[in-house]
Structure 1
Amino acid sequence: MKVKILNWHAVASWTWDAQDEACGICRMAFDGCCPDCKFPGDDCPLVWGACNHSFHLHCILKWVNSQNSQTSQPHCPMCRREWQFKA
């Protein structure tokens, strides 16, 4: 007996490969997006620091810019190590 498939509708989902489930700055889930964005994905990517903490790109950029006026080197909001983007 042979079966012929007439229609097939594939469904896929994606998730970020991060240690945490939510951004440490805005507390929004990584499956969603930061408060400044409307849609998750390419417009609101995750970035990792050298300390392996991950944040929404927009959240960490705001954090780094706010820290520049107060200290010489910005720090990770989670562990307080000097902030550097992971290479």
Structure 2
Amino acid sequence: MKVTIKSIWNTVSAWHWDVNEECCGICRMAFDGCCVDCKIPGDDCPPVWGVCNHAFHMHCILKWLNANELQQCPMCRSEWRFKSDEK
């Protein structure tokens, strides 16, 4: 029996975070990658936004806030509050 394959489908997929900035302002790593604490990019290290619209890796901003007495955005120095998903 002879089998002929007429076409081969190569499937490629890609994902990226919907972030206006290319990299985290704290660790300077790309959002499509992961922060220095993580080994694998994905849902374990998502970008988070402040009300000032600056975005950082979740682990990076949490370390920043825990290390600093003043709870300020590292970029604009405004009071840091997480932006809620609710509108």
TM interval, shorter chain, is 0.7 to 0.9
Report the secondary structure of 2:48's partner residue.
Answer: strand
Question: In 2 relative to 1, CA 5–83 (structure 1 residues): closer, same or farther, beyond 3 Å?
Answer: farther
Take 1:9 and 1:66, find their aligned partners in 2: how far apart are those partners?
47
Residues 47-74 of structure 1 show CA distances to partners (whole Å, capped at 9, x for unaligned) of 011111100000000001112xx23xx0
Q: 2:77 aligns with which of 67, 77, 80?
A: 80
Q: How many residues align?
A: 80
Take 2:77 and 2:16, find their aligned partners in 1: how far apart are those partners?
27
Partner of 1:50: 51
Report the secondary structure of 1:59's partner residue.
Answer: helix
Take 1:19 and 1:57, find their aligned partners in 2: how far apart are those partners?
16
Partner of 1:60: 61
Unmatched tracts of structure 2, length 5 or more: none
Pair member with larger Rg: 2
Letter paired with 1:81:
S
Take 2:59 and 2:14, find their aligned partners in 1: how far apart are those partners?
23
Letter paired with 2:54:
H
Report the secondary structure of 1:64's partner residue.
Answer: helix
Question: How many Å apart are 1:9 and its aligned residue?
Answer: 3.2
Letter paired with 1:24:
G
Question: How many Å apart are 1:8 and its aligned residue?
Answer: 2.6
Take 1:78 and 1:11, find their aligned partners in 2: how far apart are those partners?
36
TM-score (norm 1): 0.83
Take 1:7 and 1:44, find their aligned partners in 2: how far apart are those partners?
35
